[in-house]
Amino acid sequence: MHKKSQITIFIIIGVIFIMISIFFLQFKSEKAEIKQDFDSNSELPPIKEYIENCLSTSSEKAVWDLSLSGGFKTSKNSINYDNRSVYIYNKIPKLEELEESFAKGILKNFDVCFDNSIIEKYGFNITSENKNINVKINDKNIIVELDIPISLEKNKKKTDFSSFLTTVEIKFGEIFKRASNLIQKSKTVEEPPYDIEEECELYDYNKLTNINIESKQGHQIVQFIDYSTLETSYGKSYEYIFALEKNLIKGDCVG
User: What pLDDT shows up at residue 18?
Assistant: 52
* Nearest residue to 86 (alpha-carbon basis) of 239, 193, 196: 239
- How many angstroms separate the CA atoms of 247 and 130, rounded? 45
**Burial class for 207, CB neighbours closer than 10 Å (0-12, 13-18, 19+):** exposed
Judge whether residue 193 has pLDDT over 90: yes
Does an H or E element contain 203, and which?
A: none
pLDDT tens string 116-165:
888 888 788 888 778 999 999 999 999 999 999 888 888 888 888 889 99
Q: Can you give the pTM of this predicted structure?
A: 0.80
Same domain, yes or no: 127 and 234: no
Of 132, 152, 168, the one marking the end of a domain is 168
pLDDT value at residue 250: 95
Q: How many domains does the chain have?
A: 2
Beta-strand relationship, 84-87 and 132-137: unpaired
- Among the candidates 144, 168, 192, a domain finishes at 168
Buried b (16+ CB within 10 A) or exposed e, 76-115: eebbebeeebbbbbeebbebeebbebbbbbbbebbeebbe
Q: With bands split at pLDDT 50, 70 and 90, how would you rate the model's confidence at 29?
A: very low
| H or E element that contains 56 | helix 44-67
pLDDT at site 132: 94
Q: Note whether 161 and 177 are same-domain residues.
A: no
- Cα separation of 35 and 55, whole Å? 28
Given 168, 195, 225, the domain boundary residue is 168
Q: What SS3 class is residue 255?
A: coil
> Which comes out higher in pLDDT, residue 3 or 122?
122
Q: Are residue 113 and residue 181 in the same domain, yes or no?
A: no
